[in-house]
Structure 1
Amino acid sequence: MLHYLVSKKFLARILWFAILEINCVLTQECISKDYGNGGTICVCTDHHCDTVPSLGKIPLNSYVTYTSNKDGLRFKKTVQKFKITRTQLPKGYHYQECLSEIHHEYEICGENQNKNKYSGIYKNWDPSPSKSIIIDRSKTFQEILGFGGAFSDATAINIKTMSVSLQAQLLKSYFSEDGIEYNLCRVPMGATDFSTHVYSYIDSNTNEVNCIDPALGNFKLTKEDLSYKIPVILEANRLSSRKLQLFTSTWVAPKHFKENNNYRGSMGFIKKGLYQLWADYFQKFLDCYKDNGVNFWGITTGNEPYVANVQMEGIPGVLWFPDDHGQWIRENLVPTLRNSVHRNIKVITLDDQRPLLLAVLPKTLTNGTEHCVHGVGLHWYLDQDNNTYLLDEFHQRYPNLFLLATEGCEGDWVNNIRLGAWDRAERYAWDIAQDLNHWVTGWVDWNMVLDLDGGPRVAGPVDSPIIFNKTANEFYKQPTYYALGHFSKFIPRGSVRIYTTQCDGDDLTDIVAFKRPDGLIVVVFVNRGDHQVRRVFIDIKRGEIDISASPHSITTILY
């Protein structure tokens, strides 16, 4: 019997070490390459692509950190012990909700509110060189919907151009447990500026504007949907361990639906007599995707509807006046959806820039439209430190509408692809942390994959977290991929933001914290400065976490 027990224990130990060995083999390190742009990329081929080390079970009285930085660390995992255990909050601490600059008055929290005024920064209670950040899980804020990117035409075409094995590497990098586990993604309804050509689902070879089919009998999906986007979406959903939720946005209306008879945005209003047909068009798209195995969680009321008239380089778009948009939403779009099999879909309005939140959107939400929608989509292009108050004030005014970042990307039409640029990762991390600290429930990137020319596209190129080199049949993970991953990988849907005594950028650092559905606490700590920064995170239920963050780094802490 003793011999049997010893043998059993011995075999169990051998099995345990074998499992550890398998995990070591499966975890692949970054193959780094420097293009001289202030950082490095990670090269992925048919046979090798870096993965994220598994979190596993966190040892008792310990915490886990994952770090990426400008010097080349990528999700470097460490396990450390809590230093001490506190039984009460430090003297002088009191809670105050994180508010940004409002009406030029600054909200300060800490030991003494009368000392020094910082724009949107908390005064920490600990005066030592290593600042102490209190984490108070009893104070909670918004629930997280998720993180992800867009299945644009360019994304899907690039993926389907890859070898089969490289496609698998890329989709695993975004959606599997080995990757950064995207769970909320955007799907364009028709063409965008990142398509090979501009098209709608009712196209004609003529410019005939008076031949309107009220049954939308000519509506049909395109090759971009059937051969590229839908197959990629289905494979991504198969790989995802988290339920993949999708929302759709439209850039393009059929030319004859618009007053300018043009796909482009200039004065491109929907004809008022076709408001219902435009709503039917949205439902028809949802029906067709459902028939092909793809269901949608949400739908936006149009991409950038209030700036489509001024978009450069002929980006396709539909222009709306706010009051007309509100009328169409409440009288046409929402009743149409509610009377269909898509009755439970989330309706997201705005899908445009942050400064429009208070200046324009309330005009759309009048006359009951506020009660017809579920949330508000935000693009990051005009985000600044001094306009986060718009998020706070909007939430206070419309507490039942969630805020969701629905588009962002780095680069512009002159300075687009910069392989390895770490400063772009920092801008991603800064914006995501800033949004999350001001009631935003998630962050969705623009194109997931572009080629070395920033395309395919019909307008100017931008950058992307992954760049595909078709000639070499390999792709490059940009620093922005890792910046997104420090949030998407470790903050699953259903997590709730919790209070910290630093909520906005302090000396080029950003901090945001969450409680996950499984009970784990997550803290994302960004150091955008040129020097090492030390912080002591205090959780009275667990103890102190003493972190020294390397220059230009992103660290995710879990316990």
Structure 2
Amino acid sequence: MNTEIIETSADGKKLQKLEVFDLSGESSLIEIHSSKEFQTITGFGGSFTESSAHVLSQLSPEKRSEILEAYFGDSGAKYSLTRTHINSCDFSLSQYSYAPVPGDIHLENFSIDKDRELLIPLIKDAMTISSDGFKLISSPWTAPPWMKDNQDWVGGKLLKEHYPTWALFFAKYLAAYQAEGIPIWGVTVENEPHGNGNNWESMHYSPEEMTEFVQHHLGPTLENNGQAAIKIFGYDQNRAGLKDWVDVMFATGESSKYFAGTAIHWYESTYEVFPEALNYAHAIAPDKYLIQTEACVDAEVPKWKDDAWYWSKEATDWGWDWAPEDEKYLHPKYVPTYRYARDIIGCLNNWVDGWIDWNIVLDRQGGPNWFKNWCVAPVIVDPASDEVYYTPIYYTLVHFSKYIRPRAKVIGVEKEDDSLLVTAAKNPDKSIAVVILNQDMEKKVFELKLGEEKQLISISPQAIQTILIPSNN
């Protein structure tokens, strides 16, 4: 079998091409069933935030270009699916809205000028570098406070009287970005409609309220404005609550008409993929998208140039301190690289078709973040010294984004070694990408089988491996 094998590992490999293997010891079988096809891949990528744009603007032009090439260039991750925020979010430099004037129900003062300072130039530069292009999903954290029942940036609900204005807001946003030469592919109705503990920009919906807004306001408004091609994604929060939302969103043909699919996050747990919830969401709406729109190592200040930390069980998340006693078991210490690879493999093996990371770049503090909600990004920079640190998380993401391309089909995999996590996809050019995670402290030997072709391969201890099988196999 003619293969290209790329590995990233705790012992220092970073997307290293392997040609020599230690094949001593027992082997197991991994069999690829290329004729057994599942969902079609939409893409993989990360998010453009004002914080990322600000940090990148502080670097030398050379370093800024290097990072954008690493994410969007042919030599890098080739990100194909991205996200950004509508109005401000916690990863903004301040709180702002495109419609700041109270009572402006016709949005005569609507303006995206704030985004023209940092965010729009960043997205345009990424578009220039990307030879294949990428899809962009936009998400609001909140409507302007004057549209809400609590008149605040944080929490509260959208007043029913402002449902038409908020729908018009989306239409104006999409038109304004289109005029800038940035086509928005899709929108989520609301980032985290359950709220976020009333800490930063948020707005609450029940499943019924969101469905009513989309069915009777957002969907028709976009349709009437010639924007019917824009994909509308419901929910956009953690997977544990998924069933309650899809049951309402997709209850009838009328309720589901304008929903293109469902968006999800990973923060409910540091290790659980929630396969039952994902399979349920697919089964109830098999023709709709199911996209993971946000994930990060949260509640952590990034470790600077310390690869070992990202391969060790030292990270904690919000639940380490704040989860209720009966849910603390879901939030143990964890290995950051494993969490990413485990989740992406688990998602692909349970009908998820797209996977988006959070901020593409942050500083050494894990910001800037106006609420001081520090998080880790795959790329960390020190603007003062003009230094860049590509964490092992960055290389982990490349194993998927570079080699599993949009319109690929997830295909069947059988394996004998339960300790190995495996997924596979057939690309549009008929090449096959197999991604394997070995979390053990010892190497694993396996025989990869595709039809009548076989190859004996080993994967290092604590390693992620992508095996690319050309179409001529």
**Correspondence for 2:189 among 301, 316, 320:** 301
| Helix, strand or coil at the partner of 1:355 | helix
Write the letter of the residue equivalent to 2:81: L
Aligned-pair CA distance for 1:78 = 2.8
Aligned-pair CA distance for 1:79 = 4.5
Aligned-pair CA distance for 1:360 = 3.4
Aligned-pair CA distance for 1:371 = 2.4
CA distance in 2, matches of 1:261, 1:184: 34
Matches within 5 A, 1:132-211: 132-204=29-101, 211=102
Aligned-pair CA distance for 1:328 = 0.5
Check conservation: 1:67, 1:74, Cα contact below 8 A: yes
Check conservation: 2:174, 2:184, Cα contact below 8 A: yes
Matches within 5 A, 1:24-423: 61-79=1-19, 129-204=26-101, 211-223=102-114, 225-265=115-155, 268-305=156-193, 307-308=194-195, 311-312=196-197, 314-367=199-252, 368-383=254-269, 384-385=271-272, 387-412=274-299, 415-419=300-304, 420=307, 421-422=310-311, 423=335
CA distance in 1, matches of 2:401, 2:438: 18
CA distance in 2, matches of 1:365, 1:254: 28
TM-score normalised by length of structure 1: 0.76
CA distance in 2, matches of 1:78, 1:67: 7
Deviations 1:385-443, CA, capped at 9 Å, x for gaps: 4721111122112111121110000131xx33124212211110000000000000021
Deviations 1:428-478, CA, capped at 9 Å, x for gaps: 000000000000002100000001111111221011101110111111101
| Helix, strand or coil at the partner of 1:282 | helix
| Helix, strand or coil at the partner of 1:219 | coil
1:449 aligns with 2:336: no
Aligned-pair CA distance for 1:313 = 6.1
| Helix, strand or coil at the partner of 2:298 | coil
Check conservation: 2:293, 2:355, Cα contact below 8 A: yes
CA distance in 2, matches of 1:472, 1:386: 39
1:511 aligns with 2:422: yes
**Correspondence for 2:389 among 472, 476, 479:** 476
Write the letter of the residue equivalent to 1:521: I
Tell me which residue corresponds to 1:432.
Answer: 344
Aligned-pair CA distance for 1:506 = 2.1
Check conservation: 2:154, 2:198, Cα contact below 8 A: no
Unaligned 5+ segments in structure 1 are 1-60, 84-127, 205-210
| Helix, strand or coil at the partner of 2:13 | coil
Deviations 1:177-228, CA, capped at 9 Å, x for gaps: 1111001100111111111111111225xxxxxx5223201111133x1021
1:528 aligns with 2:439: yes
Aligned-pair CA distance for 1:235 = 1.0
4+ residue stretches of structure 1 with deviation over 3 A? Answer: 364-367, 383-386
Tell me which residue corresponds to 1:498.
Answer: 411
Deviations 1:96-129, CA, capped at 9 Å, x for gaps: xxxxxxxxxxxxxxxxxxxxxxxxxxxxxxxx94
TM-score normalised by length of structure 2: 0.89
Write the letter of the residue equivalent to 2:387: E
Aligned-pair CA distance for 1:312 = 3.3
CA distance in 1, matches of 2:219, 2:182: 21
* Two-structure CA RMSD over aligned residues (Å): 1.8
CA distance in 2, matches of 1:302, 1:446: 16
Check conservation: 1:304, 1:352, Cα contact below 8 A: yes
CA distance in 2, matches of 1:277, 1:215: 7
Write the letter of the residue equivalent to 2:448: F
C-alpha distance 366-273 of structure 1, shift in aligned 2 (>3 A): farther
CA distance in 1, matches of 2:409, 2:180: 34
What number of residue pairs does the alignment pair up? 437
Unaligned 5+ segments in structure 2 are 312-334
1:557 aligns with 2:467: yes
Check conservation: 1:190, 1:200, Cα contact below 8 A: yes
C-alpha distance 453-385 of structure 1, shift in aligned 2 (>3 A): closer
| Helix, strand or coil at the partner of 1:157 | helix
Tell me which residue corresponds to 1:6.
Answer: none
Tell me which residue corresponds to 2:322.
Answer: none
**Correspondence for 1:488 among 393, 401, 409:** 401
Check conservation: 1:64, 1:80, Cα contact below 8 A: no
C-alpha distance 325-411 of structure 1, shift in aligned 2 (>3 A): closer
Overall identity of the aligned pairs, in %: 32
CA distance in 1, matches of 2:186, 2:78: 19
Check conservation: 1:326, 1:366, Cα contact below 8 A: no
| Helix, strand or coil at the partner of 1:252 | coil
| Helix, strand or coil at the partner of 1:133 | strand
Q: Which has the larger radius of gyration?
A: 1
CA distance in 1, matches of 2:258, 2:273: 30
Write the letter of the residue equivalent to 1:551: P
Deviations 1:256-290, CA, capped at 9 Å, x for gaps: 1000000012xx10001110101001111111111
